[in-house]
Amino acid sequence: MRLRAAVIVHYHEVSLKGGNRPLFLRRLVQNLERATSDLGRVRAQQLTGRIALDLEDHPRPEAVLGRVTRVCGVASAALAYRVPSTLEAMKAVVRRVVEGRSFPSFRISARRAFKTYPMTSVELNRALGALVVEATGARVDLHAPALTVHVEVLPAETFVYLDRVAGPGGLPVGASGTVTALLSGGIDSPVAAWRMMKRGCRVVFVHFHSVPYLPATSQDKARALVGRLTEWQYRSQLLLTPLGEIQREVVLSVPPPARVVVYRRMMVRIAEALARQTGGQALVTGESLGQVASQTLANIARTDEVAETMPILRPLIGMDKLEITAEAQRLGTFEISIEPDADCCSLFVPRHPATRISPEEIVAIEAGLDVPRLVALGVDGAKLESFEFPLR
Ligand code: ATP
Ligand code: MG
């Protein structure tokens, strides 16, 4: 018997979407095809409660599986064989799957996606289990089997597979709208941006640099980070935005302890204007409460006050540095973030930033600045770069 291979994709949150489910599913299907588009032709099919990617004659099934398990919205995926939903066909494929493997114990995990199939899951488990015992001599162990054979019975066909690989979960990128992430070269903001992708957002990146007052290394880092994160959203935009001149003017009139908060407020004003031009509906930062002096509740409030129409989302607000670092390592952004660079925040930054500034104080401090002109300086100086997955 010639076996047809497929990747079977399971989702979780998308299935909770009620009336919007078709929309989310269509997006997930598009993203699955986009994520695998350079590996050879892969056709995604929506089936009852799951998606199948047909791999008939595909040269690189493992590579397809690797890509699929990085698509947001995917709870898990597996390389499967697809056969007609007859007991004979199921037996033949289960036999093929276990042949040549040695394992002391196993179980069959049959699931019926439609309950009118003439055999119950328990009956299927028994019939297919008996065959495996006979073919291999392994014993059945329902609790801690060395091998699990998954059998998913759909109306027209059945999928049989061994190992499930976990995906990121969440929602497909593009289903929740567009956000604008403030991307430094640090560890936190790339993780924050990824968290929003996992919630279904397309992320546009804004990076502030201090060229010509500092070298351009921070821009290369931002590019490398965006390149890495593009693996999850397939195309990205990065706005490289000048802050150096603004910082120079801030230094002339703002006392040292307040500078960090003023820089942050300028970044938010500029990012919000850029977001309006590029479809962003919210801003995203990598702040985590109390991590550094600029991230106290008071300073966060001072930052929020300057965003006019957009919420500032802080997906890492309740995470500690170890948790954030572990996630950065999983994403592959960590090794880029720890490269030394010339971060704009290292320019003209006081040793002891204020942790509490009142709304009245900050307004008085900024009275010496021509804020609209400085915002325009940043917005007009922003340079757009585009990224496509896979990177060339
Ligand atoms: P990160 O690890 O993301 O750099 P951090 O712990 O260094 O964060 P801060 O320097 O206080 O914290 O920055 C807080 C947030 O402000 C960052 O997470 C990022 O969203 C934004 N930000 C800081 N510097 C820049 C920059 N040069 N360009 C764009 N956004 C920035
Ligand atoms: Mg930083």
Give me the pLDDT at residue 1, please.
67
Two structure tokens written together for 151 = 């059998």
pLDDT mean over 293-317: 95
pLDDT mean over 92-114: 94
Whether residue 291 has its Cβ less than 6 Å from ligand 1 = yes
The pTM of the full predicted model, rounded to 2 decimals, is 0.94
Q: 358 CA distance to ligand 2 centroid (A)?
A: 24
Among 182, 184, 187, say which to mutate for ligand 1: greatest number of ligand atoms within 8 Å of CB: 184
For residue 337, give the ligand nearest its CA. 1
Domains of the chain, first to last? 4-166 (3.30.2130.30), 178-388 (3.40.50.620)
Task: Give the span between the Cα atoms of 112 and 149, in whole angstroms.
Answer: 14
Give me the pLDDT at residue 354, please.
86
Phi and psi, residue 80, nearest 5°: -130, 160
Model confidence over 176-234: pLDDT tens digits?
Answer: 999 999 999 999 999 999 999 999 999 999 999 999 999 999 999 999 999 999 999 99
Q: 346 CA distance to ligand 2 centroid (A)?
A: 9
Whether residue 217 has its Cβ less than 6 Å from ligand 1 = no
| Confidence label for 316 from pLDDT (cuts 50, 70 and 90) | very high
Task: Give the span between the Cα atoms of 338 and 193, in whole angstroms.
Answer: 17
Question: For residue 348, is pLDDT > 70?
Answer: no
Q: Which ligand 1 atom is the nearest neighbour of the CA of 294?
A: 11
Nearest residue (by CA) to ligand 1, atom 18, is 286
Model confidence over 43-66: pLDDT tens digits?
Answer: 999 998 999 999 988 999 999 999
Q: Which ligand 1 atom is the nearest neighbour of the CA of 187?
A: 2
Q: Cα angle at 28 between 60 and 164, to 5 degrees? A: 50
Among 182, 323, 329, say which to mutate for ligand 1: greatest number of ligand atoms within 8 Å of CB: 182
Q: Which ligand 1 atom is the nearest neighbour of the CA of 208?
A: 28
Give me the pLDDT at residue 331, please.
97
Task: Give the span between the Cα atoms of 369 and 307, in whole angstroms.
Answer: 18
Give me the pLDDT at residue 355, please.
86
Provide CB contacts within 8 A for 86, sequence distance 6+: none
For residue 285, give the ligand nearest its CA. 1
Nearest residue (by CA) to ligand 1, atom 20, is 285
Whether residue 242 has its Cβ less than 6 Å from ligand 1 = no
Q: 239 CA distance to ligand 1 centroid (A)?
A: 15
pLDDT mean over 378-391: 95
Tell me the CA distances in angstroms from 56 to 42, 79, 85, 105, 164, one per residue in order: 9, 12, 18, 31, 20
Q: Which ligand 1 atom is the nearest neighbour of the CA of 264?
A: 16
Task: Give the span between the Cα atoms of 43 and 28, in whole angstroms.
Answer: 13
Model confidence over 266-291: pLDDT tens digits?
Answer: 999 999 999 999 999 999 999 999 88
Question: For residue 244, is pLDDT > 70?
Answer: yes
